[in-house]
Amino acid sequence: MNNKSHITVRTDQGPVSLLAGSTLATLVAQLLVDLPQQPESVATAVNGQFVARGARTSHVLNEGDTVLCFSPITGG
């Protein structure tokens, strides 16, 4: 039986199961729950496309998405 109430996304920490309709903000908070980092301190990309911090709450994830969280790098 295929349960459409959940989706699975790939992350650098392994696959994560979420409720269908979950946002990137929800996933980031879940991934960082046991880490000293705050959600504002990481950059994110979904399927290779950068997603700005302000867009995370409206970016709904889909089955099979690949999400990366990384430290932003600035140069001079």
Q: What is the pLDDT of residues 45-68, one digit of tens each?
A: 999 999 999 999 999 999 999 999
Q: In whole angstroms, give the CA distance from residue 3 to residue 25.
A: 23
Is a pLDDT exceeding 60 seen at residue 71? Answer: yes
**Which helix (DSSP H) or strand (DSSP E) does residue 51 occupy?**
strand 49-51
Q: In whole angstroms, give the CA distance from residue 74 to residue 26.
A: 26
**Which helix (DSSP H) or strand (DSSP E) does residue 31 occupy?**
helix 24-31
**Confidence at 1, pLDDT banded by 50, 70, 90:** very low
Per-residue model confidence (pLDDT) at position 76: 58
Decide: helix, strand or coil at residue 19.
strand
Structural domains for the chain: 6-70 (3.10.20.30)
* Bridge partner list, 7: 18
